[in-house]
Amino acid sequence: MNANTIDLDHKEYYLNRDLSMLEFNRRVLEMACDSQLPLLERLRFLCIYTSNMDEYFEVRVAIQKHRLAIGALGTAADGLSATDVLINIRERVEQLMHEQYRLLNDDLLPAMQQEGIRIIRRPDWSEAQCEWVRKFFRRELLPVLTPIGLDPAHPFPRILNKILNFIVALEGKDAFGRESKFAIVQAPRSLSRVIRLPNEVADSEHCYVFLSSIIHAHVSDFFPGMKVKSCHQFRISRNSELIVHEDEVEDLKQAVAGELLERRFSAPVRLEVSNKCPAKLYNFLLHQFGLQETDLYRVDGPVNLYRLAAIYDDVDRPDLKFPPFEPGTPARLQNEDQDIFATIQQGDILLHHPYQSFNPVVELINQAASDPNVLAIKQTMYRVVPDSPMVDALVRAARANKEVVAVIELMARFNEEENIALANRLSAAGVQVVYGVVGYKTHGKMLMIVRREGRKLRRYVHLGTGNYHTFTSRFYTDFGLISCDPELAEDVHKLFQQLTGLGKVIRLKTMLSGPFTLHKGLIERIDREAEFARQGKPARIRAKMNGLEEVEIIKALYRASQAGVKIDLVVRGICCLRPGIAGVSDHIRVRSILGRFLEHTRVFCFENGGDPEVFCASADWMGRNLLRRVETCFPIRDAALRREVIAQGLSPYLADNTATWQLKADGSYQRAKPRGQQKNAQLTLMQKLGTLQES
């Protein structure tokens, strides 16, 4: 087939974004099913899967339902309508949910019981346990829980997003002679969903009961003199997209805070109920929430398995968890008393988290805050907790009369409240706080320090692929570059000017930035590889990212494949490109790697005719990142560090044969089966860059 006759706009060449995301969540669930992993890590993966699916309904399903409600008839590149997508989601989620609870009930719980970790079901409570539960209920729960009997004076209550609730069917009259058929009991988020039994009544080393079981056992105490016919747990998931018309508000922070209050009661998208709940009750709930039966999911266990993560945290069994790992530190940064600025002057420094510690970044900003020669510190903040040591340093710097600027992205999904608190704390300390650019999320990760050295000013920068979050830096894989390269620093300076001031697009010397040059720059480089291939020169693309969805990028990759460019992509989550299509994507391989750490690095390597060009970036190859966000994509200019980025960020992942899923042309993923020597990218990097305790 002639490449020129192929219509690259044809819907058959694209996978649906939302269905691809479901495939990612399926892979997370497969990790929980993997008997080769430590038992409590499997439980943790089950909790992660549950949390992922909650967000999936709150965001992706909510968006499709909204499209359907407003009559949006347009389709994405894959050609599926909102109705098509929702039908597919329903079918696949039911399959996944069945496997989720089968795994819990038939595999994990029995295996945990054999290890002395037991969750006791209500029918199995001993007499002593029943008595302890009764006292616990009266002491801890009865004063807190508020039953709502439904009648004309007590209409159906507003149910918060994702909290545990019970619908109770009643018979009889209360003290006022009122007859109510139903009541609702809500369990506040502050209550733990798994309760550890004390040693005197426990029958194993770690013994737990579900909060839902305790409430079930004593729900009649809420309704004296009435008969409780049945009691069933349920949970509602709501649309969690914040809708703030940024160009129509005077104070973005105040507008976001107002929307956060409403998000807890936004449009319902999913109802989960116990599979023992009778049709009469769940139909009543569906009617109250304005949902259809296709929005109903009946579960064989607790409605929120994410809360089982409390068991992982509570049980001190190193033999059932990943072996301890201590991140390393680059040799040049191992002297605790060193002047970090002098060290940076000797050459760029590459950090690879979590294999290497994030502490050098914290130390950099700490020294900057204390150094009298530092005049200014500027930093972008996407997901940073208000009590972070980096925030402490900015506060100290501002109080020391340094010029401190923080660009805070208030609209970082599910972190909005923390970002508002962060903005308040920094503002109170005298930091100049700005919220980026209206209509464009500030997603780039940049830190710049301006220091007087003799008669001149020198700028030091840190650029990263991940957030300035000291906790997640221990679990997310990310690259960071620390440099005082004048051209790189000049680009960072210009980007901060663009974020805090007004003016036309500023031309950068070395970096690509979204939404201006990044999309175009990537396509130019992909097309350049195609031209090199046609000329018979070395041509190859290796790239690692979290998501690939942008249509023009995919088309460019297809054209490069048609020209003979070998393309290896490591895409953790969403991938809308179909590899292996004859005449279109024969030379493209796509793999997804999951493991102990969340793969988060964005690394792009273009062979460039034998002179490889390597970039690290804050952006995935998604339309939102490339066209609707402020992003940074920075070159690795030092030749030795370029080799390191390839050796650490690409080569081990392309060689991995134990934690890899290969994407097939039909959109499904197949887990690789090791042939010969087993290779695991994360294990290799832990052993190379840090200290891994032998299990």
Residues carrying an active site annotation? 443
Q: How far is residue 632 from each of residues 444, 614, 616, measured CA to CA in Å?
A: 5, 14, 9
Asked whether 216 and 276 are in contact (CB, 8 A), the reply is no
CA-based nearest residue to 232, from 303, 142, 306: 303
Helix (H) or strand (E) holding 287: helix 279-289
Which residues sit opposite 237 in a β-bridge?
A: 270
Collapsed DSSP state (helix, strand, coil) of residue 160: coil
156 token code pair: 């159906």
| Opening angle at CA 467, ends 376 and 367, nearest 5 | 35
Helix (H) or strand (E) holding 461: strand 456-464
- C-alpha dihedral over 125, 129, 135, 141, to 10 degrees? -50
216 token code pair: 């079930």
Residue type for 458, please? R
Residue type for 78, please? D
357 token code pair: 């510690």
Q: How far apart are CA 73 and CA 80, in angstroms?
A: 10
Q: How far apart are CA 574 and CA 591, in angstroms?
A: 11
Q: Please identify which residue in the block is written with the tokens 């499209």.
A: 67
Dihedral sign, Cα of residue 370, residue 372, residue 373, residue 375: positive
Collapsed DSSP state (helix, strand, coil) of residue 205: coil
Collapsed DSSP state (helix, strand, coil) of residue 504: coil
Which residues sit opposite 161 in a β-bridge?
A: none
Contacts for 16 with CB less than 8 Å, ≥ 6 apart: 76, 78, 80, 85, 88, 576, 667
Helix (H) or strand (E) holding 101: helix 82-102
Buried b (16+ CB within 10 A) or exposed e, 111-135: ebeebebbbbeeeebeeebeebbee
Q: Please identify which residue in the block is written with the tokens 């340093």.
A: 393
* Angle between helix 416-428 and helix 389-399 axes, rounded to 10 deg: 20
530 token code pair: 């195609």
252 token code pair: 């973005």
CA-based nearest residue to 330, from 591, 678, 666, 640: 640
Q: How far apart are CA 273 and CA 502, in angstroms?
A: 52
Contacts for 356 with CB less than 8 Å, ≥ 6 apart: 327, 328, 329, 330, 689, 690
646 token code pair: 């390839």
Which residues sit opposite 384 in a β-bridge?
A: none
630 token code pair: 């402020």
Annotate 380-419 with DSSP letters as a single string. Answer: EESS--TT-HHHHHHHHHHHTT-EEEEEE-TT-TT-HHHH
